[in-house]
Chains A and B, each alone.
Chain A
């Protein structure tokens, strides 16, 4: 009823939203160009397939981490800049356990727990991989989730809880402080060096025939796929089938309801951190498994991309975070058809800026402004 009143014809729509129209045209042009390069053989379909697959993997990880950010953003009303470092914390704690399990007996426990700080132990040397050390991986995954839950709840209790009324900006700035502290505690403990964590040659690989070439998929890719989809399904079930889930959806999706019923109960907030923290920690673990390296900046590198995903999908929408994550991941990969690799992230940021300017509530219409 509203739309038909304000746009009686397509031309009205164009005139009232010129920016959106231009962007849609741009995407159509890019899509046609892509189709062109595929048809003329300039780019193999398999190459595009590889890009899509990589993008999907990256996107699933971003989406998984984004669920937690979206939830805290909408329920607690602030942009948590420490979120990236929750990812890092999950990764480091999880992988410490993985090293410990995988290298048990073969090396000193302290060295293992510190991920070979000082060059004492190398992940590749421990033959870490999903097929070679499945228990280590599983154990690490679980611990990553649990540790991040503990950290998230600990930070909430000590920092954010007393600031519930403080307003989004104050909480944002406080979260920057938390981010710095957390990140550099990790550096202090583990040292800043980047480390390789898996033995690349030991990971089973499959070649999949796609139309005109091979797309390489390895076992770790599949691990990411299985783990993230399973967790997302789990969240979906939680949201749709449980009372808690319904309450959380109500709080997140419906701002008016939240206003009427007042500040969300502490219980819901705790569960937000538990679910969000767990997913975030696992995302951190998986990203290291996928890349095969671990660095203390890994979470921070992902943070802006996660914001992009969450804003794209609509703050407060879990499904938006997942979809947004996948779209951002695909953007990073597929944009490399046109722009150099070192600008791939810029493309994702560009998408985010466009969304903020044209449709700040995102795809699934979350909250619009601060």
Chain B
């Protein structure tokens, strides 16, 4: 067992000032709408996510959570409405542009790059690698600096693997990993982009309780580093217990927004989830 508590991820000097340049609100969603043919998947949804928070987004199937994620991260373009990341208006930007600004997402069904090793998956993620320019990688003199940069990134990647306790799998092809390990890889890879905010799309789905605790512990630790998390989950208990701010969606609309206590007491939420243990 590695002593992960004493191995902070990311640059030591940055600690909780990760998102000061974003202001107190990391993400603001403003009257988003998305229609597919006759179906309204997202219906004038508005909410905010505070910097450095762990915010939860819940709702039953078909509530529009995944579509909202897609709209925020540029995988879909909203028909109406806007998305703001800090002061930046990111509505309708391409996914790679959104990620480039520091807003990264994971996928509900882990999309590990199967024929690449775990370490290759991680080393793919960091942004702005000079070696991603073709000429730099090929030209004899310049390739040296690419190597130096990769060596530095490699150190970070090793720390990340150790943090998630999957370092022994570094040379394994990602397709050979178990379901739980893939989830860890997915999160580790997203974090390697050195983001300001992470959208986690059902990271705990199909995950056993031990791993679930481990993941949540990691998320809390990372919050100490200053990352902002928006977490979509099905499991009410998890959201209620861990998120300081919760957004409830239902049939494409935002039903309620607030703390766990607020949500529990909300009439509309109770109506929508008739009989459920809130």
Contact = CB atoms under 8 A, between A and B. Distances in A.
B35 interface: yes
B80 to A, nearest CB: 9
A5 interface: yes
A11 to B, nearest CB: 18
A5 B79 contact: yes
Contacts of A5: 35, 79
A211 interface: no
Q: Is the interface of B mostly helix, strand, loop or mixed?
A: loop
B126 to A, nearest CB: 30
Nearest to B80: A5
Interface in B219-245: none
A1 B37 CA distance: 7
B119 to A, nearest CB: 27
B275 interface: no
Interface in A1-34: 1-2, 5-6
Contacts of A1: 37-38
A32 to B, nearest CB: 37
A6 B79 CA distance: 8
A1 B38 CA distance: 7
Nearest to A6: B79
B127 to A, nearest CB: 28
Interface in B138-152: none
Q: Is the interface of A mostly helix, strand, loop or mixed?
A: helix
Nearest to B33: A5
Interface residues of A, number: 4
Contacts of A2: 35, 37-38
B275 to A, nearest CB: 30
Interface in B1-36: 35
B175 to A, nearest CB: 15
A5 B36 CA distance: 11
Contacts of B35: 2, 5
Interface string B184-225: 000000000000000000000000000000000000000000
B248 to A, nearest CB: 27
Interface in B28-72: 35, 37-38
Interface in A229-249: none
A5 B37 CA distance: 10
B36 to A, nearest CB: 8
Contacts of B38: 1-2
A2 B38 CA distance: 7
Interface string B116-160: 000000000000000000000000000000000000000000000
A362 B79 CA distance: 25
Nearest to B79: A5
Nearest to A2: B37
A38 B31 CA distance: 57
A2 B37 CA distance: 6
Nearest to A1: B38
Contacts of B37: 1-2
Contacts of A6: 79
Interface in A126-165: none
A202 to B, nearest CB: 59
A2 B35 CA distance: 8
Interface in B60-113: 79
Interface string A313-341: 00000000000000000000000000000
A185 B235 CA distance: 63
A148 B11 CA distance: 68
B60 to A, nearest CB: 22
A2 B79 CA distance: 11
A5 B38 CA distance: 11
A1 B35 CA distance: 10
A7 to B, nearest CB: 12
Interface in A214-273: none
A13 to B, nearest CB: 16
Contacts of B79: 5-6
Interface of A: 1-2, 5-6
8 contacts: A1-B37, A1-B38, A2-B35, A2-B37, A2-B38, A5-B35, A5-B79, A6-B79
Give the 7 A-B residue pairs with the shortest CB-CB distance, closest first: A2-B37, A1-B38, A5-B35, A5-B79, A2-B35, A6-B79, A1-B37
Given A2-B35, A5-B79, A6-B79, 5 more contacts: A1-B37, A1-B38, A2-B37, A2-B38, A5-B35
